[in-house]
Structure 1
């Protein structure tokens, strides 16, 4: 009988080795999950981003491309908790969060210095840690109420990186082993229980919004994906595989807005001929993206656009070109409108001075919506765009609104919900 070829033996050994490794890791995974569920905790391997609803203090509330993983939920000493992996553009963190009895001001207690992105002020400390909080009174009250529990936690875990995030206590660096995590959560629960309403009622804050938001932007909402906006906002059509991601929206106040990144693909046929004259045809896919920013004015207006000075814009474009008496402005901007008087009334000398100072990205107004040709999808760009547009709108004279048949808008903002053009049930 002939012996099997050597390469078949090698392949067989590799297959057996691979199967053994796979079984090892599978059994370890099953054992790990069982160690959690045996303690009465729930485990979900692929949770949605919604588990981070209401968490907006760093590391939350920063950047885009956010995701969650490996969610554990339960209670220790009567205090509900959740532990999960959190990832965004600013890093990856293993987070433990416990529900507090009332929402409290933003505060950090850390033995490692300020967290990246945190803006709270440094406060005096009664222990071997840094305290950051914009409310000195709450910083003192927190340390008085929970100082002993914080010290016990820090000593047992070689440090602490804690934050108060609305109605949740958050600590970074939770262990993965179930027994270690149990001890960790018990010490954390002592801190949460020490923050009882009797001593801290005067520091109560409004409950956080029930969504994933942005740090120190209480009415801004984040959605990792929302393709339904294709039916709400004007985007590039055609092609296929359209995706709307990293959505920033605000439906509160006088000017709701939405900003997002739109991705799509197109295909094209490419024909080539080789040296022998043989012709082949193949299909290639091209990827495209665009950054979108739209604000809802809610008041129908004639078409008006303010762009950079385009060579062809002087002769071609929508509506008529409207020039000011300031040559420097005409050299920097093109203003066009379907109703030239409307443009002249809106772009008055004080408005011209403002536009020359702020140098906004090209924008247009029509039918109650403002579109801005933003250079990129970035929070700093969005912040700047919102501020520039508000500055532009408050400089529109009262008689312009009256000519449009509406009351003068309150652009100072009253915190009331807007028309919810950009919210989503997804």
Structure 2
């Protein structure tokens, strides 16, 4: 037997041994979960996280729940421990159920870094917790009401056993990162401590903060009216996607709206182009091959309540378009329109100031839709353009809306 063959055999035996050891340990681990009455799910469905919308949930377009442990604590409080990933984070999360849906709250102890994507107001930390803690909320008064002496006592007790506690409230779930999920003997008391914090929160006078129930579907952080669809190739028939090429498809489709702003659809459009390349070698022989290239573009459109004349707003290029009274504006923007009067009515002096202070992605109004060219399909860009367009539409004078057939502006000034 050659040395190479011998090495291959040794490596194969080593891999087999490692696999057997892993399999035995995994079966022991699963047995320890079953003995506690818990259930292990190797491939959980998205329903496991559909009610959750605060980071690490509710972020990004690629979301992946994996191994899951579900059960109840000694006092009957439901829990789940789940592995979860998105584009910017991956790890394990543990949570127990609260008796009410509450606003978001963020508490960290030790040297813990804030979670990716969190937008919160930092508020003073109760004296019972002491130094080394941070508290973030959207409503400061909520932090005052929820952080009772009993809650702080339970938080301090849990942090003494888990340096770097990273805890949040997400609807009716009390969520903590990095549970000790590898060992059921450690996970069980950890869950009991988390349940004790949940019980203290349930005992606090928080009824005025109860949030409405939401439909169980994949949503987005701080955008409760956005929802995930995934694929919808019917959009290819009704939206201004690139028509050339073949193999057209959609991915990462989301729909929604922000407050009283216009509803939107956002997605990535994929297609292919194929070409034939011919080459001749040094001996004069000709060969032909087919080359297929893959393309994609980000699509973002907002539906208006009425049809409008065509109007395009973008950065100035080789052609400056319509000239306005502001030379600064003319140097920065290229405006093109089907109806010049409509353009002058919409792009008035205050609107020009707004555009220069908030330069948007290029966009155009086509009938009853506004289509942006965002450059990429991302959660922050959709949110940014949604805020921008709501303010831009609010700046259109009331008489313009009336001329279009509406009784008044559908987007009053904030």
Give the TM-score range, shorter chain.
Answer: 0.7 to 0.9
TM-score where L is the length of structure 2: 0.85
Instruction: Deviation per CA, 1:19-75: give whole Å up to 9, x if none.
Output: 343333334334433333343323222334442223233333344433221122222
Tell me if structure 1 keeps the 8 A contact 2:70–2:79. Answer: yes
TM-score where L is the length of structure 1: 0.83
How far apart, CA to CA, are the structure 2 residues paired with 1:335 and 1:110? 49
Tell me if structure 1 keeps the 8 A contact 2:148–2:204. Answer: no
2:114 is aligned to 115
1:397 is aligned to 397
> Once the 2 structures are TM-superposed, how far is the Cα of residue 209 of structure 1 from its aligned partner?
5.4
Distance 1:38 1:228, change over 3 A: farther
Instruction: Deviation per CA, 1:320-340: give whole Å up to 9, x if none.
Output: x64434444444333333333
Distance 1:278 1:18, change over 3 A: farther
How far apart, CA to CA, are the structure 2 residues paired with 1:395 and 1:351? 6
Tell me if structure 1 keeps the 8 A contact 2:248–2:269. Answer: no
2:160 is aligned to 155
Unaligned runs of 5+ in 1: 315-320, 415-426
How far apart, CA to CA, are the structure 2 residues paired with 1:154 and 1:290? 46
> Once the 2 structures are TM-superposed, how far is the Cα of residue 228 of structure 1 from its aligned partner?
5.5
> Once the 2 structures are TM-superposed, how far is the Cα of residue 248 of structure 1 from its aligned partner?
6.2
Unaligned runs of 5+ in 2: none
- Choose 174-183 or 240-249, whichever is displaced more: 240-249
Instruction: Deviation per CA, 1:327-354: give whole Å up to 9, x if none.
Output: 4444433333333332233233333333
User: Secondary structure of the residue that 2:224 maps to in structure 1?
Assistant: strand
Instruction: Deviation per CA, 1:214-268: give whole Å up to 9, x if none.
Output: 3333333345665554455432243326342274643753411233333443333
> Does 1:381 find its partner at 2:387?
no
How far apart, CA to CA, are the structure 1 residues paired with 2:38 and 2:275? 52
Tell me if structure 1 keeps the 8 A contact 2:228–2:254. Answer: yes
1:185 is aligned to 191
**Aligned-pair RMSD on alpha carbons?**
3.1
User: Secondary structure of the residue that 1:175 maps to in structure 2?
Assistant: coil
2:129 is aligned to 127
> Once the 2 structures are TM-superposed, how far is the Cα of residue 196 of structure 1 from its aligned partner?
1.9
Tell me if structure 2 keeps the 8 A contact 1:102–1:197. Answer: no
How far apart, CA to CA, are the structure 2 residues paired with 1:239 and 1:108? 48
Instruction: Deviation per CA, 1:87-135: give whole Å up to 9, x if none.
Output: 2233222101111101223222321345134323132231255241342
How far apart, CA to CA, are the structure 2 residues paired with 1:12 and 1:384? 58
1:90 is aligned to 88
